Structure formats: C-alpha cells, structure tokens
Amino acid sequence: MFSRLTRRSTVSTLCYAILVLITTFFVAISCALLLSQAARTAPNGSFVENFNAVVIGAAYVLVLVFSLAFCIKRRIAVHRRLQRISKTFHTLGKNDVPDTVFRYIQQEYTRACLIAYESRPKDGYQEGWGRPGTNCEGVRFRTSLLDTVRKIDTLAHKVIPRHPALRPQARMLHHFRFILPLLSKDEDGLTPLHYYDSAIQLARHMSREPTEQEYIVGMRAAREIETTLQDCYLEMREGSSTNISTCAYSS
C-alpha cells in the first residue's frame, strides 16, 4: 500500500514538473516572438526607445512575479494547514469531521470488522491440536498429556512419601502401582490408571499425533487420579490433625 502511494506521488510530481517546463517554454517563446515583432515594427528597427518592447517586457515580468507570488502563497497556506494537524494520536469523534465523512468511516470500519470475523478459521484442523471453537482450542494434545505426569507424581509422593522416583520411560501402570488400590473400577474392571497409561503410551511412542478423543479420555483419567489423590491427602491431613488434638487433650 505504501509503495503504491509512493509511486503515485512520484508520478504526480513528475507530471507537474513537465507541465511547468512546457508552460515556461511556450511563454518564453511567445515573449521572444513578441519582442522581435516589436523591434521589427519600430521606426528605428531596434529596442532603443521602443515603447512596445517596454510594455511587452513589463507585462511578462508582471506575469512572472504574480505567478511566483501565487505559488509561494499556496505553498505557505498548505504548510500552515499541515502544521495545524495534531501529531498526537487521538480518537476522532463525530464532531471532529463532517457527518458524511464520519458515516463513511463508521461504515468502512464495520465492513472491515465483518470481513475479519468471517475470515477467521472455523473448520481448520491441524493434527495433534485442538480445533478452533472447541474447549480444546489452542491445546497441543501430546504436550498437555505428558505435562500431567509430573503433577500426578507429585501428588503420589504426598500420599505415599516413599513412592518410587519417576523414570523417563516407565509405564504409568507400573510406576503408580501403589496407588492402584485407591482408584475405583468401572464395569469392565479397569481403573482410570489403565486408561491414563494407554493415553501416555500413545503420546510417548506413537508416530502420529494423539486424536482429540484420545486426549479427552487421557485427561479425564488424569483428573480422576488427581482428584482421588488430593482427597486421600486431605483425609491424611485431617486424620493427623485429629490425632494431634486428641493427644494434646489427653495430656
């Protein structure tokens, strides 16, 4: 856009310069022809004591002076008008411009907003990422699933302080085997840890990206495990507080 405006400005300046040169050329030619005619028609055949030559020369001098004065006046007027334009940013209000200009700006702004809204991707899909307009928008499934391992491991160590340390390639079903009795089973006899283990294995080792359904199943299982461990940890703290209070009362 800016390059187009620059080209237009350059072409406009060039055309104006050519017009000035052509006008100056023809004015100079006409002046020379008129002066030569005045010299030929004079009684002495020269410019000496030639009243017509003086009138012609004075007329062209006045034209030159008035032309330069008009150009300078316009240049000063444009410069002053540009100086009155505020250089600081401020929002234009309805009273700052004519009504027709304000309505045009408002109409074009509304049209641009509608075009930008309609141009937003609605059906776009990138493998391994949440689709726009859904609850998983902007979420990368593989990274989000793997990030839950640390959170669950931290909660498991709070419940079981001597819980084994996390190994990079350990199966979730093996690593969290000590919390397995704390988890409930579904009608198929599977706990949330079984579903979570499958989702983490897919996220770790599959060449393709996890699907949205696999991500939802894995995150639901992770939330159930986190909720169970959090409840166990809170019960442990409440039990410890109760025992401490009972011992203090007995003493």
Residue 2 lies inside a defined structural domain of this protein? no
In a domain, residue 101? The reply is yes
Query: Do both 20 and 72 map to the same domain?
Result: yes
> Based on the domain organization, do 146 and 43 belong to the same domain?
no
Q: Check whether residue 138 and residue 239 sit in a common domain.
A: yes
Q: How far is CA 180 from CA 38, 50, 174, in A?
A: 120, 123, 10
Domain assignment present for residue 49? The answer is: yes
Tens digits of per-residue pLDDT, 46-92? 777 778 888 888 898 998 899 889 989 988 998 888 887 777 766 76
In angstroms, the Cα distances linking 150 to 106, 171, 172, 176 are 52, 13, 11, 12
Task: Identify whether 146 is part of a domain.
Answer: yes
* Total domains, the chain: 3
Closest Cα to residue 170, out of 197, 151, 139? 197
Q: Does 137 lie in the same domain as 231?
A: yes
Q: Determine the structural domain holding residue 13 and report its residue range.
A: 9-84
Q: How far apart are CA 151 and CA 221, in angstroms?
A: 13
Statement to judge: residues 79 and 95 lie in one domain = no
Q: Are residues 200 and 158 in the same domain?
A: yes
Tell me: do 143 and 230 sit in the same domain.
yes
**CA 24, CA 197: separation in Å to the nearest integer?**
90
Does 227 lie in the same domain as 155?
Answer: yes
- Please choose, from the candidates 125, 126, 128, the residue with its C-alpha nearest in 3D space to the C-alpha of residue 203: 128
Asked if the structure places residue 3 within a domain, the reply is no
> Could you tell me the two tokens for 236?
């442990």
Q: Do 236 and 185 reside in the same domain of the chain?
A: yes
**Residue 192, CA distances (Å) to 58, 178, 184, 199 in order:** 105, 14, 8, 11
pLDDT tens column, 198-222: 999 999 888 889 988 999 999 999 9
Along the 251 residues of the chain, how does pLDDT read in single tens digits?
446 667 777 888 889 889 989 988 998 899 888 888 888 887 777 777 778 888 888 898 998 899 889 989 988 998 888 887 777 766 767 777 788 888 888 899 999 999 998 887 666 677 888 887 778 888 899 999 999 999 999 999 999 988 889 888 889 989 998 998 888 888 888 999 999 999 999 998 888 899 889 999 999 999 999 999 999 999 888 876 554 344 333 43
Cα 57–Cα 59–Cα 60 angle in degrees, nearest 5: 65
**What residues have CB less than 8 Å from 13, skipping those under 6 apart?**
none
Amino acid identity for residue 102 in this structure: F
- The Cα 124–Cα 250 span in angstroms is 68
